[in-house]
Structure 1
């Protein structure tokens, strides 16, 4: 299995601080969270991209996945507002292009939302149409899209693993698969078994974080249980540590140290 720290909690520092820390860690791969000022997908010059590629190569790090900022202003490809929807598609097109350049095989993508006072099917149809376009583009670029659901306080489109499965069925593209996030899963009242039952072989990525997107062991989720359940399903793919809570912003290195400590205490993955 591959384990990849994400740089979300390093946003108050240059990206090189994160890369330096990962280079010193047991990990050799990252999940690249794309947000300004580190990597602004709305507008990054070619020189910046070449520099980033050089920094990764110098440290012998690969990019397991890219995670563009999803479902926050002004990104939303499910909305009834066509201008916002089309600009969001251009944003994800740029993400796919960037992933291809960096040799990154995956781009994580979260559902947008429709107006909460409008029929859900309007947003669902917009989501399907947008995702189908992106999947067709990603297939030509040899990039796989990882589709994630969100909480019902954020979206009215994809909320459960069943929703992901239905959307994948309707799009029917090899370039788009499903994933699980421990926080979203538990909030929706689902289980690891639900994701594998509903998605089958299309379950191809894991955000392995404790409650509130915290370091494993810092919340109250049964993280060792979750790890063992995922492994029991025969999953041997990639895990990403999506650590978003602001408690880690001041000393982000410690969050990676604590993640490593948890893994060594609870798994044999880093032996």
Structure 2
């Protein structure tokens, strides 16, 4: 049907956290995936505020399999570093952590690094945390500009944040940071939980949308396509109608996929094949 290009589908390694990096990369080849959105969790990669793992070695392993890494996604939900940290020490360590992520992305040749707003604490006002998030993203956008990387901001679910959880929050954050190196990422799960549509996001942001976490859902769950209630053909048609040429990160996070992720990736790609 030709709604997307194969290279737009970006395999992710989150659901391979119980397997080696090599197993993940070989699985992507078997599934017919060409592009990688690389998640930096252990055991696949090491990143902290002071050091990050050898990018040359990682890139060689990826390229030797005729794959390309296009998007870099530092772990930022389960670990201690987040974009709106309240304690000054952790805020600065978070800045250094994400700055190293930007530098690693640049070394890998990635033009995009994923980000979000972080979250505020429930015993403070939302606006206090919002100000910290604006400061963090502004400083990181400056680093990204120097490194030739663009940050892609996604919304989160209410269980994950009390800051950017809806389209209107993304618009406010983008406007307040006001930096050419901060653009928009659509996460279809957060979008679905908020009761929003792809068309609404494209109507508001248009070409500012540079990346997507494009997965099925009920609307909860970052699911393999076919396991949720979203209509893949309708979603892809909206992308085509809006001339979206960015990547579709397969951010599969439901633990039910962790035991046999290769089988589920192959099943996922079968759902895409008729539209490639």
After TM superposition, the score normalised by the length of structure 2 is 0.91
Aligned pair partner of 1:250 in 237, 259, 263:
259
The whole-number CA distance in structure 1 between the counterparts of 2:154 and 2:211 is 10
SS at match of 1:32: strand
- Segments of structure 2 that go 5 or more residues without pairing to the other structure are none
Root-mean-square deviation (CA), in Å? 1.6
The whole-number CA distance in structure 1 between the counterparts of 2:82 and 2:59 is 28
Deviation at 1:262, TM superposition (A): 0.3
The equivalent of 2:103 in structure 1 is 97
Contact 2:211 2:247 in 1 (8 A): yes
The equivalent of 2:35 in structure 1 is 29
Contact 2:120 2:129 in 1 (8 A): yes
Distance 1:169 1:89, change over 3 A: same
State yes or no: 1:227 paired with 2:233. Answer: no
The whole-number CA distance in structure 2 between the counterparts of 1:117 and 1:198 is 33
Q: Cα deviations across residues 115-158 of structure 1 (Å, max 9, x unaligned)?
A: 12322111111111100000000011001111011111211110
The equivalent of 2:70 in structure 1 is 64
- Counting only pairs closer than 5 Å after superposition, residues 91-130 of structure 1 correspond to structure 2 as 91-130=97-136
The whole-number CA distance in structure 1 between the counterparts of 2:122 and 2:240 is 37
The equivalent of 1:159 in structure 2 is 165
Q: How many residues align?
A: 266
State yes or no: 1:78 paired with 2:84. Answer: yes
The whole-number CA distance in structure 1 between the counterparts of 2:12 and 2:55 is 18
Aligned structure 1 segments of 4 or more residues deviating by more than 6 angstroms: none
SS at match of 1:145: strand
Deviation at 1:101, TM superposition (A): 0.9
Aligned pair partner of 2:10 in 4, 11, 26:
4
Q: Cα deviations across residues 15-52 of structure 1 (Å, max 9, x unaligned)?
A: 11111122334322101011011112127665x43321
Deviation at 1:72, TM superposition (A): 3.0
The whole-number CA distance in structure 1 between the counterparts of 2:159 and 2:66 is 40
Aligned pair partner of 1:259 in 252, 265, 268:
268
Aligned pair partner of 2:248 in 239, 244, 267:
239
The higher relative CO (CA closer than 8 Å, separation ≥ 6) is in 2
SS at match of 1:93: helix
- Segments of structure 1 that go 5 or more residues without pairing to the other structure are none
Q: Cα deviations across residues 179-211 of structure 1 (Å, max 9, x unaligned)?
A: 111110000111112211222221111111111
The whole-number CA distance in structure 2 between the counterparts of 1:191 and 1:54 is 38
After TM superposition, the score normalised by the length of structure 1 is 0.93
